[in-house]
Structure 1
């Protein structure tokens, strides 16, 4: 009686376990990206604070990335000391990325 077999599930219906795995993978990706962004900003702050050689390719590359990632936070505060300005403004950007990343990771895991 071949007609008594239950229909096979739709190929795109993978169930809750697959959805949880996909959500976990997405949460991990968001966490990794957030961590990398925060690290770039933190390394730039350290380079500026300790007056790293701006002719060095690594220092220049990190500075370029950090300036792009600092987005609208680059000049929120304008203290007289440029080192303090970078520490405060880029630190604020890093904090915002960290908080938003943690919230996003939590929401992704909760909604799965």
Structure 2
């Protein structure tokens, strides 16, 4: 056997220990921002879907005494923040729900886009 071929039983001055990789803070920051962006996108999308479901159930004439309808309506009221009473009492109550809660859903989606873009920019800046 020639001496140029490495012998797997030999160690070359490292006493058999492998070098540890150095800690990469920039990569950690990038991954953290990416993970936060994903959580924000999913969370805001879920809220927008819940508020939109309330609009669909109300405009569609769902039974207000149904447990699912009540659950969705209660959470939609909480998550619509200041949009619940933005347009006061148009002639049709279903139109009021459509305008107020529909605008709240659109705003949740816009906030999602802006925050995700900010987080991705911050993650790429390092």
Band of TM-score, shorter chain: 0.7 to 0.9
Taking the aligned partners of 2:73 and 2:24, their CA distance within structure 1 comes to 44
What are the Cα deviations for residues 46-82 of structure 1, in whole angstroms up to 9, with x where unaligned? 0000110111111100000001111111111121101
Q: Which runs of 5 or more structure 1 residues have no equivalent in the other structure? A: 1-7
* 4+ residue runs over 4 A deviation: none
* Aligned equivalent of 2:45, options 35, 42, 45: 35
TM-score, normalised relative to structure 2: 0.77
What are the Cα deviations for residues 19-44 of structure 1, in whole angstroms up to 9, with x where unaligned? 11111110000001100010001000
Secondary structure of the structure 1 residue equivalent to 2:85: coil
Q: Which runs of 5 or more structure 2 residues have no equivalent in the other structure? A: 1-20
Secondary structure of the structure 2 residue equivalent to 1:76: coil
